[in-house]
Structure formats: C-alpha cells, structure tokens
Amino acid sequence: MPDEYKLFRESVRRFVDNEIKPYAQEFEDRKEFPMPLFKKIAKMGYFGIRYPEEVGGSSGTATMFNILCEELARGYMSIAAITAMQCLMGTNFIFKYGTKNHHDNYLKPAIRGEKIATFALTEPDAGSDLSNIKSIAERKGDRFIINGSKTWITNSSVADFFTVLCLTDREKRLKGANFFLIPKEVKGLTVSKKFDKIGTKSAENSEIFLSNVEVPIENMLGQEGKGMSNLLQILSEIRTMTAALSLGLLRAAFEESRRYSKQRVQFGKPIGSFQLIQSKLANMATDIEVSKCFLYKVSKMIDNGEKCEKEASMAKYFISEAACRAVDQATRIFGSYGFSSEYPVGRFFTDSRFLLFGGGTSEILQNNIAREILEDN
C-alpha cells in the first residue's frame, strides 16, 4: 500500500488501542449506544472519510474507509458497525441525491457527529428478498404519505434521521422503489424498544413504524423508480465494508489467541508449543493474509471505478466465514475461559454472527457468485 495508507492505518490503530479497546467490554455490558466513543470518532473526523471537503469530509478513498472499518472492528465490533452506518448507508443517499438544505441540516451535522444517521431497508417479510417490501409512499400534491414498518434498523433508537426504502408504485414493485429522508421528529414515526441481542449489543437495533408520515416531495432521494439501481451502485462498497469488519474481527481473534497461547501453561509448558494449537494459529494467520489481499484488491477496484460485484460478494463471503472459523478456534484455545466475559473472545464469538447477515447472507452471496460465473463468457 502507498505510505499515506500505512500512516493512516497506524493513526487509526493507535486511536483504537488507546481510546476504544480499553472501554469495549464496559460499553458492551451496558447494552447501550456508546455515545462517548461515537463523539471521539467524530472528533477524529472519521465520519466524513468518504465525502469531499466541501461537505466537511476528507475526500478519502474506499481503501481508506475499509482500513478504518477493519481497525475499528479489531477493537470493538459494535462501534465499528455504528461508524460504518454513519459513514456509508445512513448518509450516502443524502450526499448523492439530497438538496443543499439536506446537506446543511443532515449530512454535515452527521459528519461532525452532531446527528446520528441510519438506513431502513429490511422488513419483517423482506430481508434477502427485497421484492417483498410493503412500505408504501403515496404522492399527495407536493408531499408523500408513507405507511409501513422496518426491522433490524441499526442506531434506530438514537437516530436523528432515517433513509427509508419504500414503494411509490405497487404495480411496478422494485421498479417503483425509492429512498426517502425521514427526520425523527415527524408525526407518525415510532420506534420500538431495542432488541435484546447476543452480540453487537451497543449497536442498538429496533423496529420502526410509519403511520401516515408526511414528508415534502424533495425528501425523495433520487429519481423516481431508481431506488434499487441507486442501491446497487453502493452494494459493492457495503459488501467490502462488511468484509473489512470481518477481517478486523479475524485479526482480533488471532492476536488474543497468540498472546494467550504464549502465556497459558499446561503440562509444564505454554500451550502454544502443542501442535494442535499451532495448527489453529497457522490457519488463522493464513486466512488473515489471504483476506487482506482479497479485500484490498476489491477496494482498489472500487477506487478505480471498476465493475466488481462478483469480487465484492466473494470477499464478503470468504472473509466473514473465515472470521467465524477464527473466533470458534479462539474459544477452543481459551478453553473454559472462552466462555467467560473475563476475556474478549466470548464477545468475538457472538459478534461474529452479525457478520453472516450484514451485506447479504453467505447463501445469497454464493447464489450471486455462481450466477455471475455461469454468465461469464
């Protein structure tokens, strides 16, 4: 990587080691949004890494964004997931399709960490199958009236605004789907109590309900009927971001396992001297190196404007599964201590399950990869 990327990684690594890791378990135990950590990340300017300087960003690349996500996930998956939402899905459509008023009142404050953003896509009957969404936005003069519900919405309990996918034409289904900017304070928007989860406990998830919510016509983000095509434009970024989160967790599991293997003594010697433990560490280390190469190859393709839907799917699928393998092996290396909150590997194990669904399930990604392979000439 160029020196500027290496320097950026080192800066983020120091920040994570000093400001994130020491407090991760404390915030996880609270099961609440880690506002102090959120404000620290805002102060570092990380929320604007993908956006140009004219809106308060730093004009960074997809590669830099993925370095940030990787290092944050190495320290604490919940804050990494919150940051990814603030940097990408929760603000991207406002940046690309919003008005100057939207930029001034939502995007710029979000980049400064003064407002919290989120993205509402999933519905109770529409997860992998978005064609089954039922939320509807009906045009009434110069306004849209929105009804529906969304579930598993990250940051929803604390969000100041929502980017929500709705249908504007039931007959056209996804060809009539659009994103809408909905402020928290509008009448008719309610948020359920946060879900009780086994992992990423500080990245709060809830349902939202929309009952006759009114928004002005300019709050439709993008040309009518182009919601899904606009989503596809950032899907590779979403998947490589999830791959970066996975790589960060994979590295965390390896680092903790290596350290413990040197310290833990059984039968008169460190457990790292036993061949089966060495095998687990060797597999983790190999997965890390392969994942690095793959992730940053795809990141460079995105930076170069190259088509990489297949490669992004491969990266997310391979690295998220590698992370799950690694945390499983880490709990075995730690033995009964891997079942205790005294060490972070138990948290790594539960956090890893989140990676299997964000950005597309492994099963859906395998279908996508196979389809593209079969369509290749």
pLDDT digits (tens, 9 = 90+) for 183-224: 999 999 999 999 999 999 999 999 999 999 999 999 999 998
Instruction: Please give the distance of CA 57 from its chain centroid, rounded to a whole number.
Output: 19
- Residue 242 pLDDT class (50, 70, 90 cuts): very high
All structural domains of the chain: 3-111 (1.10.540.10), 117-225 (2.40.110.10), 228-375 (1.20.140.10)
**Which residues, other chains included, contact 58 with Cβ-Cβ below 8 Å and sequence gap of 6+?**
45, 48, 49, 51
> CB neighbours of 344 closer than 8 A, spacing ≥ 6?
24, 25, 252, 256
The residue type at 318: F
Residues 339 and 359: their CA atoms lie apart, in Å, by 28
Q: Where are the beta strands (DSSP E) in 218-362?
A: 220-221, 265-266, 269-270
Q: Specify the range with the lowest mean pLDDT, choosing from 209-213, 249-253, 337-341.
A: 337-341
**pTM value?**
0.95
**pLDDT tens sequence across 104-161:** 999 999 999 999 999 999 998 887 888 889 999 999 999 999 999 999 999 999 999 9
By residue count, the chain amounts to: 377
Distance CA 214, CA 132 (A): 23
Burial call 315-349: b when 16+ CB within 10 Å, e when fewer = bbbbbbbbbbbbbbbbbebbeeebeeeebbbbbbb
